[in-house]
């Protein structure tokens, strides 16, 4: 399957389990890999046929800025559901990291992969 990706999207978020984390915004880093059949836009050369990565990045940024989750796991899962539904994606991989969250590491976080079937209403 073809992929459309966004790398190193940095957003300030209210996220964390500790009291001090609930009072500040911390930078998180997001990588998106979204399944998409790129043959159609390649043939048409039309933006309307693409998985519009700019629109996806704007949606993620707006969503993250208004959320107040405690766990990166929750945020990643909600983002996967949102993007799959909004853009009718068959598959998504999300890497969501908190830089500097653990002393001695550059970043910690989660990587999830979901399919449209994971969020079907069946």
Is 65 among the catalytic positions?
Answer: no
Name the pLDDT band for 100 (thresholds 50, 70, 90).
confident
Q: Which of 58, 65, 66, 98 is catalytic?
A: 98
**What value does the mean pLDDT take over residues 101-119?**
94
Name the pLDDT band for 122 (thresholds 50, 70, 90).
low
Name the pLDDT band for 82 (thresholds 50, 70, 90).
very high
Q: How far, in Å, CA of 20 to CA of 26, rounded?
A: 11
* Contact criterion met (CB below 8 Å) for 67 and 75: yes
Mean pLDDT score of the chain, rounded to an integer?
Answer: 95
Domains by residue range for the chain, with CATH: 3-119 (3.30.1130.10)
pTM of the model: 0.93
């Amino acid at each position: 399957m073809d992929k459309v990706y966004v790398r190193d999207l940095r957003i300030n978020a209210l996220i964390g389990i500790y009291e001090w984390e609930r009072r500040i915004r911390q930078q998180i880093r997001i990588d998106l890999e979204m399944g998409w059949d790129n043959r159609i836009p390649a043939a048409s050369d039309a933006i309307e046929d693409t998985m519009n990565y700019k629109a996806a990045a704007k949606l993620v940024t707006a969503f993250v800025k208004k959320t107040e989750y405690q766990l990166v796991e929750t945020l990643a899962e909600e983002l996967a559901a949102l993007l799959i539904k909004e853009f009718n994606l068959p598959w998504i991989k999300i890497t969501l990291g908190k830089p500097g969250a653990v002393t001695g590491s550059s970043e910690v976080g989660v990587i999830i992969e979901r399919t449209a079937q994971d969020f079907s209403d069946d």
